[in-house]
Structure 1
Amino acid sequence: MLDLALLFVVSLVANTLSSLAGGGAGLLQLPILLFLGLAFPVALATHKLASVALGVGATLKHLRSRTLDWRFALVVLGFGLPGVWLGATVILHVPEHAALIALAVLTTGLGIHSLLSPELGQYDAATNRAGWRLWLGGAVLFLIGVLNGSLTSGTGLFVTLWLIRWFGMDYKQAVAYTLVLVGLFWNGTGALALALQAGIHWPWVPVLLAASVLGGYLGAHWGLVRGNHTIKRAFEMVTIATGMSLFWKAFF
């Protein structure tokens, strides 16, 4: 019971921050699964499944607020899902050390870039939604999908920043897309692919699902109430903390 209580509290905090910032639940949730004794492949598959519930909680909130354009959402899914499946299929054959270092550098860079760009994501101005620019943006989403399927944490943050930088969304809108599409659909695809290879630790799933749904709803609610500036600061905090955590896991 003590293990389950610890798992619920840590997962709730992780998913609330992730829902507010647009990614990064694996910063806390995956390490606690490893700390409690799960092997890495099983912990990763279990974490991915729990992250689907984060998408459910956020979806419930954002559907009520009508913040999503579902035609553009289909574009994100169409480009991203094949990459997720590919990444989840090959992850168990990739050297973890090299993958962690690469992800740590990229994730930390996201936070620093946001810190150095005060106006980034403060206003919504749709761009690059047609022609070759749409296809180029989609190709990057495919590559991020590969990372999402194959690496442990932080890739939702990549989607958030790419939607802001390339497609002209503000932080509030980009986080909504990330939580619903990455949290629900991308992570669901990754969880299925990993579960077929490594399995899932089902006794802990109900606790993780409850914490993820509640955390997803709370984070989405606070993001809608507080606005772009608060979301931007949460994004920067989570990205840099995630990057530092990945560096630590890579070298120690």
Structure 2
Amino acid sequence: MDFLSSMGLFIGSLLSNTLASLSGGGAGLIQFPLLIFLGLPFAIALATHKVASVALGLGAALKHVRAGTLDWTLTIYVILAGMVGVIAGANLILFIPGRVAEALLGVLILGLGIYSLTKSSLGQDTQPRHRDLAGMVIGGIGLAAIGVLNGSLTAGTGLFVTLFLIRWFGFDYKQAVALTLVSVGLFWNGIGAVTMYVAGAEIYWPWIPVLLAGSLLGGYLGAHLATQKSNRLIKRCFEVLTFLIGFKLLLGM
């Protein structure tokens, strides 16, 4: 890869991961199509993107740990709840054509944006609920289902986790984004990348250093902005990303 292509890859990775870290998901909106545009086949681009996305979670984790915004008990719960779904999804995607699934996912993500847009008070304040045993079990099943999508598809599933944590458990946007970025960005994506590699997916290692640098820096920068900005601004960023990703997946651009 020449210098200009490397810089384009770094800037694209930095931009997509900064937005994802601020909003709670969606790094694949820019980064994954960019890998395909630069010449990688779909399966290789997907596996390479999964590996790079781990650095997004690491960058966000570094900032949120320093800021003290993480509840580690709940973080471990989200990681474990989605783990089985991620592994299943990462194996399924190697055998199932993804176009129809991506279009359906696009419709669902658009629905998330519309729902958030019509609920002005959503995620603005913490309102703890469903923290009893039954609520945690049902919540775990929901997170496992989202984990299947995370393991098998390219973009937007972190947004599902963000809104699920807000709607089911009563987190505000800042808390939900922090939980999502560490649980999904670092651990779910890491598990998915390892599973795909073991199952035979090829990773294009020469581009990984540039992608890791952009993802790590973008994850940290987005998490910094998330701790500084209001829940309302983060909600608006979330909504913008849901519409962009939803239309992209639906139209197949």
CA shift at 1:126, angstroms?
Answer: 1.4
- 1:96-245 aligned within 5 A: 96-196=98-198, 197-245=200-248
Normalised TM-score (structure 2): 0.97
RMSD: 0.9
Q: Distance in 2 between matches of 1:8 and 1:131?
A: 44
**For residue 10 of structure 2, what is the aligned residue in structure 1?**
8
Name the % identity.
57
Does the CA contact (< 8 Å) of 2:75 and 2:182 recur in 1? no
**For residue 62 of structure 2, what is the aligned residue in structure 1?**
60
Letter in 2 for 1:241: L
CA shift at 1:95, angstroms?
Answer: 2.0
Letter in 2 for 1:217: Y
**Selected match of 1:95 from 90, 94, 97:** 97
Q: Which runs of 4+ in 1 moved over 4 A?
A: none
Worse-matched range after superposition: 122-131 or 201-210: 122-131
**For residue 83 of structure 1, what is the aligned residue in structure 2?**
85
Q: Distance in 2 between matches of 1:213 and 1:152?
A: 18
Q: Distance in 1 between matches of 2:186 and 2:215?
A: 11
Q: Distance in 2 between matches of 1:78 and 1:54?
A: 19
Letter in 1 for 2:112: L
SS of match in other structure, 2:244: helix
Residue-by-residue CA offset, 1:94-120 (whole Å, 9 max, x unaligned): 121211111101111111110000000
Normalised TM-score (structure 1): 0.97
CA shift at 1:74, angstroms?
Answer: 1.7
Residue-by-residue CA offset, 1:75-104 (whole Å, 9 max, x unaligned): 111210111001001111112121111110
Residue-by-residue CA offset, 1:53-77 (whole Å, 9 max, x unaligned): 0001000000011111111112111
Residue-by-residue CA offset, 1:19-38 (whole Å, 9 max, x unaligned): 00000000000000000110
**Selected match of 1:246 from 233, 246, 249:** 249
CA shift at 1:132, angstroms?
Answer: 1.4
Letter in 2 for 1:6: G
**For residue 25 of structure 1, what is the aligned residue in structure 2?**
27
CA shift at 1:212, angstroms?
Answer: 0.4
SS of match in other structure, 1:37: coil
Q: Distance in 1 between matches of 2:230 and 2:184?
A: 21
Q: Distance in 2 between matches of 1:97 and 1:160?
A: 24
Letter in 2 for 1:80: G
Q: Distance in 2 between matches of 1:226 and 1:134?
A: 29
Residue-by-residue CA offset, 1:175-211 (whole Å, 9 max, x unaligned): 0000011000000000111122211100000000000
SS of match in other structure, 1:229: helix
Q: Distance in 2 between matches of 1:149 and 1:239?
A: 19
Letter in 2 for 1:64: R
Does the CA contact (< 8 Å) of 2:52 and 2:211 recur in 1? yes
Q: Distance in 2 between matches of 1:217 and 1:130?
A: 33
